[in-house]
Structure 1
Amino acid sequence: MRRFRTDPIDPDKLKHLLELADLAPSVGNSQPWRIVTVQSAEKRASVVASFEAENAYAASAYEDEKAALYRQLKLAGLKEAPVHLAVFSEPNPGQGHGLGRATMPETLAYSTVSMIHTFWLAARTEGVGVGWVSILDPEKIGEILKVDPNWHFVAYLCVGYPEEEHIAPELERARWQSRSPLDERLFRR
């Protein structure tokens, strides 16, 4: 989701969606997610500048037709989305007492992604769209938002009402790449 209307989201609705997301499962019931609501126009502008710099760098990796197509893609809704959420994972949360992550500490980040997915599904049931901006420098985002330097940046989410509804992903509609059949990724042993 990259095309948002600028209509505000009712604060109570956003709070409800975040409360639903907070019910997501987490390793050892650790709830490692840390959510920063980015409201400051100055901080948002800094995030947009970071995105634009990283996007220009990413574009340089492509040549010819792919480069031209890449430059036409809308890869973020940072300027239109009324809500911005930066999501981090706490690497050593007090909750959970280390349960379930001694051999796989990455399950904290996976748990944070589970919360994001729960938020995304809850938002869609309310007609709210979510876009995950991945063309950002994690260290720069942490600096802009002045978060605990130990937190691991997981996602920057644009949240708002969609301009239009589609079943096919935007990158498929833009002919960047079609979805492939599940059988190509499903293995049996």
Structure 2
Amino acid sequence: MKNSTPGHQAHHHFDDAERAAVYRNILARRDVRGQFLPDPVADDVLARILTAAHFAPSVGFMQPWSFVVIRNQHVKQRVHDAFTVANAEAVQMFEGKQREVYSGLRLQGILEAPVNLCITCDRDRAGPVVIGRTHIKAMDIYSTVCAVQNLWLAARAEGLGVGWVSIFRQSAIREILSLPERIIPIAYLCVGHVSHFLDQPELQTAGWRQRLPLDELVHFDGWGGDRPDGVVLRDALRRAQEDASRGIPPT
């Protein structure tokens, strides 16, 4: 029988300050590229953020992730070279003003960040048949991305910046890091102390894209569906997004 006493219920809730801190962390998280400092990341701090990643949810409790910690400058240089090749290809995929803006963006901090991390997915770790992956085979990849997000938020709580670098061929990263064929590199992250965090996402400030209105992305009871009482939630969504855009946690 469930314990329904007030004390039992309170145990499962954060107090107002704790709740605000969680939301503040989410709103303050940024993709860091050009603000890394050379200060080393202490092993106990690195252990904490890796532990946060390891406690991410995973479908079927697969825990498909592994973590390659990269501190060697020669390895970083090889990864940077792979980025440079892919970035030169990428710039040609845009046209006009977009190509001009893209060319001026700083999209990585591979050499500057004291720690690089490659988070990988082992698709065979839990065997051929996995609870929850029987019909959607990509659930192991999605689970690994949850580990990335856990690490990112834990790093922000530690005052560390994280930048996700995705502009290179997976085959190049697999070769540089000697990954087995079955292992998929999911996220290559630059991690370190930073001089500052940006107030807004860099791509938003650069005019590349703006944050979409959340109230326009919510549907009721099916795609495109609405409800008479939906206007109340949409108003609440607009107010919440306005506050969040100013970095104001919910109260």
CA distance in 1, matches of 2:158, 2:128: 31
Could you state the TM-score of these two structures normalised by the residue count of structure 1?
0.94
List alignment gaps of at least 5 residues for structure 1.
none
Q: Which residue of 2 aligns with 1:13?
A: 45
List alignment gaps of at least 5 residues for structure 2.
1-31, 223-251
Residues 48-101 of structure 1, C-alpha deviation per residue, up to 9 Å, x if partnerless?
000011001000112222211111100111121111001110011147962221
Structure number with greater CO (CA < 8 Å, separation at least 6) is 1
Which of 195, 202, 205 matches 1:163? 195
Structure-2 change in CA distance of 1:95 and 1:83 (3 Å): farther
Question: Which structure 2 residues correspond to residues 12-31 of structure 1 after superposition, within 5 A?
Answer: 12-31=44-63
Q: Identity of aligned pairs, percent?
A: 38
Find the residue that maps to 1:179 and give its secondary structure: coil
Query: What is the RMSD computed on CA atoms of the aligned residues?
Result: 1.6
Q: Does 1:179 align with 2:211?
A: yes
CA distance in 2, matches of 1:63, 1:12: 46
AA aligned opposite 2:62: S
Q: Tell me how far 1:162 sits from its aligned partner.
A: 2.2
Q: Which residue of 1 aligns with 2:71?
A: 39
CA distance in 1, matches of 2:84, 2:217: 33
Q: Is the 8 A contact 1:28 1:99 kept in 2?
A: yes
CA distance in 2, matches of 1:105, 1:68: 39
CA distance in 2, matches of 1:95, 1:30: 9
CA distance in 1, matches of 2:65, 2:44: 20
Q: Is the 8 A contact 1:27 1:96 kept in 2?
A: no
Question: Which structure 2 residues correspond to residues 63-102 of structure 1 after superposition, within 5 A?
Answer: 63-94=95-126, 98-102=130-134
Find the residue that maps to 2:55 and give its secondary structure: coil
Q: Which residue of 2 aligns with 1:154?
A: 186
Q: Which has the larger radius of gyration?
A: 2
Q: Tell me how far 1:111 sits from its aligned partner.
A: 0.5
Could you state the TM-score of these two structures normalised by the residue count of structure 2?
0.72
Q: Tell me how far 1:163 sits from its aligned partner.
A: 2.2
CA distance in 2, matches of 1:186, 1:134: 29
Q: Does 1:138 align with 2:138?
A: no
CA distance in 1, matches of 2:107, 2:218: 28
